[in-house]
Amino acid sequence: MAASVAAAARRLRLAIRRLPAWQGPSHRPLSSEPTAAQASAVRAAFLNFFRDRHGHRLVPSASVRPRGDPSLLFVNAGMNQFKPIFLGTVDPRSEMAGFRRVANSQKCVRAGGHHNDLEDVGRDLSHHTFFEMLGNWAFGGEYFKEEACSMAWELLTQVYGIPKERLWVSYFDGDPKAELDPDLETRDIWLSLGVPASRVLSFGPQENFWEMGDTGPCGPCTEIHYDLAGGVGGPQLVELWNLVFMQHNREADGSLQPLPQRHVDTGMGLERLVTVLQGKHSTYDTDLFSPLLSAIHQGCRAPPYLGQVGVADEGRTDTAYRVVADHIRTLSICIADGVFPGMSGAPLVLRRILRRAVRFSTEILKAPPGFLGSLVPVVVETLGDAYPELQRNSAQIANLVSEDEAAFLASLQRGRRIIDRTLRSLGPSDMFPAEVAWSLSVSGDLGLPLDLVELMLEEKGVQLDSAGLERLAGEEAQHQAQQAEPVQKQGLWLDVHALGELQRRGVPPTDDSPKYDYYLRPNGGYEFGTCEAQVLQLYTEDGTAVTSVGKGQRCGLLLDKTNFYAEQGGQASDRGYLVRAGQEDVLFPVARAQVCGGFILHEAVAPECLQIGDQVQLHLDKVRILPDFPIPCSPFTLLTPCLHPGRWVTKVFQAWRLGCMEKHTATHLLNWALRQTLGPGTEQQGSHLNPERLRFDVATQTPLTPEQLRAVESTVQEAVGQDKAVYVEEVALALTAQVPGLRSLDEVYPDPVRVVSLGVPVAHALDPASQAALQTSVELCCGTHLLRTGAVGDLVIIGERQLSKGTTRLLAVTGEQAQQARELGQSLAQEVKAATERLSQGSRDGVEAHRLSKDIGRLIEAVDTSVMPQWQRWELLATLKMLQRRANTAIRKLEMGQAAKKTQELLERHSKGPLIVDTVSAESLSVLVKVVRQLCEQAPDTSVLLLSPQPVGKVLCACRVAQGATPTFTAEAWALAVCSHMGGKAWGSRVVAQGTGSTADLEAALSTARAYALNQL
């Protein structure tokens, strides 16, 4: 084994030296005489092989945060970023549309969702939450099975020098149920490459048929396996490489249809490959992990790592080593890509990963506080050359990990105390209460994952009330479902077959350049021109292509050109209508427009027959209401077709497009203002806008302060007041790559790409020497914008909340809505000022004090829920909460004074004895309780019950039993006896109780109170 591995390493070194130097991710020179192939060299050899020998384009790893794919929590395979190609939805103008053969090393995270290895990490020697996937792809039939197999065999045996006799292969054996034949073509290719028939195995669909999901592109795959045994005894096979041949599409009904174009999708885990090439027992023994394991040993009071598992892993020390090493890699990669620990979705999974790492490091490895953050530089050292974002964000990663570690350790300590306190109150056979476990969990106050709570109880030999926990989880799920926003109805869509048919017929992508055809009129208003177009294809609701649609039918229209903006880049779709040439009084309302692989699909309702070839005219921002049928029209009311006396009446959004333009330009101003206020490193995390408001997610180290929000608004207002020109120009994508300050997102941009610059001509903004992009907003953007910033009017940030640690979501309104928000804020500020003055004047009686307290409470609710500047909301709430405390203090003082006065009256009326039962006037139950308390303080051997008549027959009750009363005489039972007599209720403890009731006969109630007490005394 050692000799063969040494030989493989020598051959790998020779192969790497023969390949030209690659100026890609890794710039560190390789050691001249490594003992075995370094991981960085293995990665470089893979990329160089496909680039230099087989003409593949090297593309960077995508972020582990999925791009526009809500089905994934994390990118978990190399093919994720290429799904638009597989699905046929790639923008034909984008760089990706030109991909034919590509290769890369993709960062992947498998934790949460369908692929979840989190709980297995540490228990064995192979599972990881983060790993690197080496892959090569061929799109659109660029090459297929024979070339893919030959390249893989060449790389493994000639470049990496793996002995051929150690390699086995498998192929798809067919699936009679799906009417799929065995993939004999792939079998014969392997045989032709010299693989003995005895090492060519066949398996069914579970092993050798790969699917993207429940629906979508799929196909047979062939796997290359490595024999760990090396001929000693039976083979011990581990999968090295999976080659997928996408040639089918799984339909919604479960059937398989041929894909319009075939693709090759391969993936090989770098960690496992390095394990084989370095002759190691596990991935944790390779140089991808050894620096981390060494750093863990040096920083903890734990014995060295021995690589043990199961019962051999005494004290689970080696398990903890593996958990910490794996998890800190995952945390570093995710945070560098903008995924921060949080409370839902991927951030919640990352939070669990961090807290799992903290517990293993502190409880098993005895690591000191702040230890996890100290490992980040080691991750950067091992992976930073391949993924430079780690180097750029290393300080932020370490700080965030350390902050969350400290917070979790504090929660863990509190959680242990609560568990211990609860256990002391349980009997030997009692189960741990589900309510307490839930309050400890991530859904409760301390944020301890439920599986961690269960583990902590398991270690103490206590069983958790699982049934009660399931009930609470169900109630929480039901509550979340009620709070969730309604799911938007899925619109019409062109699937891979429809797109493939359009491409086969040579139908060109929709010309949507008319969406940018608008201008300013002399009066300052915008004029949106109409668009003449031809119907190229019609689709029914289920996506079936048809030649015509009938009256009342919901359908999809594909036109040769359009002036509608299809939803993308965070901007909502346009809405409007179209008319058929020569029939202008029949309106076809268009509810939305979607982009599908370069084609714009208009979703409409046909009031009359429409067919392929018809000439139509598209309209935006006009109001047409047919006579004799008045309809109230809001600028943002949904387009509503109504059948009336055989004709259609339509409300169209007079300002929908203009509202989107206003919000989109405002979004750019907001992005720039945030950078000006928080620093140039501030990064946008996403946005969405419609005519009513805009949403903006921004990466922040800490929550924004009121002062920062005011500064951001002021910066935007200044730019709006200057009424800057908005310059837009299409330029080659390559020209934008090195412009300092230019803003872009992790998206696929078309080439050429539109550049939007506020106040500075695009050519000047893109000149690196000008630094103009640092002084104003310059962004890559395909959206529609105002032509001058002054039309934004104003911008007010009306909401701010933390989505996760490091990500803040802002909500903002513009124009007239912003002005209304400011006016409402000023109005509420005046009310708060008036409440302050009322409180300063003081209250002479409790009624007035209570009224003021209630008014302050109503003001708090109004300020908390109103659409107003967020900075002002925070300031007013702080003032109101202070006023509330002062008001409550004033009420307590008044009540104490009233109680003292009434106490003296009662003491004068009653001689000292074991019992006082009487009536007294009191403005509230709170005052009555205080009178009872003061009486008992002055007469500790006396039991007291007082009734206080209120308007409309209501009676308040408060009582307290003396310290020396018999155990059977309790205040709660006493109050209950009296209040029940009055048809009311009571509550309290053995010593003090209170209640309410209603009666017109107070003497009878007092007699009941005396009789009960005398019986007990």
3-state SS, 244-276, equals EEEEEEECCCCCEEEEEEEEEEEEEEHHHHHHH
Q: Which two tokens stand for residue 420?
A: 């211990």
pLDDT in tens, 343-378: 788 988 998 899 899 989 998 999 999 999 999 999
**pLDDT of 457 over the 60 cut:** yes
The first and second tokens of residue 584, run together, are 């202008």
Distances (CA, A) of 355 to 251, 457, 464, 803: 40, 17, 21, 18
pLDDT tops 80 at residue 445 = no
Angle between helices 394-424 and 317-336 (to 10 degrees): 130
**pLDDT confidence of residue 23:** 29
Residues 55-67 have a mean pLDDT of 94
Q: Each residue of 536-551: b (16+ CB within 10 Å) or e?
A: bbbbeeeeebeeebee
How far is the C-alpha of 238 from the C-alpha of 942, rounded, in Å? 84
Position 490 scores a pLDDT of 58
Looking at the chain, the whole-number percentage of residues with pLDDT higher than 90 is 59
**How confident is residue 632, by pLDDT bands cut at 50, 70 and 90?**
very low
The Cα–Cα gap between 532 and 578 comes to 10
Please report the pLDDT score of residue 348 as a whole number. 86
Task: Return the H-helix or E-strand segment holding 502.
Answer: helix 496-504
pLDDT in the model for residue 27: 31
* E strand or H helix at 403: helix 394-424
Q: Pick the residue with more confidence: 609 or 848? A: 609
Please name which of 57, 143, 145 lies closest in space to residue 103, comparing C-alpha atoms: 57
CA 928 – CA 951 distance, rounded (Å): 15
Residue 13 has pLDDT above 50, yes or no: no
Where does the pLDDT of residue 491 fall: very low under 50, low under 70, confident under 90, or very high at 90 and above? low
Q: Which residues contact 901 (CB under 8 A, 6 or more apart)?
A: none
Query: What is the pTM (predicted TM-score) of this model?
Result: 0.78
Question: Measuring CA to CA, how many Å separate 956 from each of 664, 850, 928, 953?
Answer: 60, 17, 8, 10
User: Which pLDDT score, from 0 to 100, does residue 489 have?
Assistant: 54
Residue 845, pLDDT score: 67
Distance of CA 595 to the CA centre of its chain: 24
- pLDDT per residue as tens digits for the range 581-626: 888 888 999 999 999 999 999 999 999 999 999 999 999 854 443 3
Structure tokens at 250: 């799984």
Q: Tell whether the model's pLDDT for residue 291 goes beyond 70.
A: yes
Say whether pLDDT at 1017 is over 80: no
* pLDDT at position 933: 92
Separation between Cα atoms, residue 685 and residue 745, nearest integer Å: 8
Q: Residue 354 in contact with residue 111, Cβ under 8 Å?
A: no
Separation of alpha carbons 758 and 668, rounded Å: 9
pLDDT 10s digits, 813-822: 999 999 999 9
Q: Please give the DSSP secondary-structure letter assigned to residue 620.
A: -
Least confident interval from 45-59, 79-93, 480-494, 777-791: 480-494
Regarding predicted confidence, which is higher, 271 or 6?
Answer: 271
582: left (phi over 0), alpha (psi -120 to 50) or beta: left
Consecutive H or E run containing 6: helix 2-18
User: Cα–Cα distance between 972 and 995 in angstroms, integer?
Assistant: 9
Residue 384: the pLDDT is: 96
- Residues 782 and 792: their CA atoms lie apart, in Å, by 19
Contact 978, 1012 (CB under 8 A): yes
Strands 531-539 and 615-619 come out as antiparallel
Residue 750 pLDDT more than 80?
A: yes
Buried b (16+ CB within 10 A) or exposed e, 940-973: eebbbbbbbbeeeeebbbbbbbbeebeeebbbbb
Mean pLDDT rounded to a whole number for the chain: 87
Reported as a pLDDT band with limits 50, 70 and 90, residue 754 is: very high
Q: Kindly report, residue by residue over 121-159, the tens digit of the pLDDT.
A: 999 998 999 999 999 999 999 999 999 999 999 999 999
pLDDT interval class at 887 (50, 70, 90):
confident
Per-residue pLDDT, averaged over 241-257, amounts to 92
- Residue 403 pLDDT: 92
**For residues 21 and 524, which has the higher predicted lDDT (pLDDT)?**
524
Q: What are phi and psi of 273, to 5 degrees?
A: -60, -45
State mean pLDDT over 481-509: 78
pLDDT in tens, 983-1011: 999 999 989 999 999 998 999 999 999 99
Handedness of CA 557, 559, 564, 570 (dihedral sign): positive
**What value does the mean pLDDT take over residues 864-871?**
95
Could you tell me the CA-to-CA distances from 413 to 362, 448, 866 in Å, in that order?
A: 12, 11, 39
Mean pLDDT of 468-487: 73
Please give the structure tokens belonging to residue 189.
């290719």
Which of 608, 497, 489, 509 has its CA nearest to residue 558?
A: 509
CB 369 within 8 A of CB 406: yes
**Of 178, 266, 262, 182, whose CA–CA distance to 217 is shortest?**
262
Which segments within 550-676 are labelled E, that is strand? 553-559, 576-580, 583-596, 599-606, 610-611, 615-619, 640-644, 647-651
What pLDDT does 911 receive?
75
- Orientation angle between helical segments 145-154 and 184-192, nearest 10 degrees: 40
The pair of three-digit structure tokens given for residue 803, joined into one six-digit string:
């989505």
First-to-last CA distance in the chain? Answer: 93
Comparing 188-192, 484-488, 650-654, the range with the smallest average pLDDT is: 650-654
Higher pLDDT, residue 523 or 716: 716
Query: What pLDDT does 655 receive?
Result: 78
Q: Are 221 and 244 in contact (CB under 8 A)?
A: yes
Q: Which pLDDT band holds residue 846 (cuts at 50, 70, 90)?
A: low
DSSP 705: P
Q: Who's near 27: CB < 8 A, 6+ residues apart?
A: 385
pLDDT-based confidence at residue 964 (cuts at 50, 70, 90): confident
CA 868, 874, 880, 884 dihedral sign is: positive
Confidence of residue 442 (pLDDT cuts 50, 70, 90): low
Of 537-541, 875-879, 910-914, 947-951, the range with the lowest mean pLDDT is: 910-914
pLDDT score of 15 more than 60: no
Distance CA 191, CA 171 (A): 12
Assign 3-class secondary structure to 972-1002. HHHHHHHHHHCCCEEEECCCEEEEEEECCCH
* Closest C-alpha to 599, from 628, 625, 545, 560: 560
587 within 8 A of 607, measured Cβ to Cβ:
yes
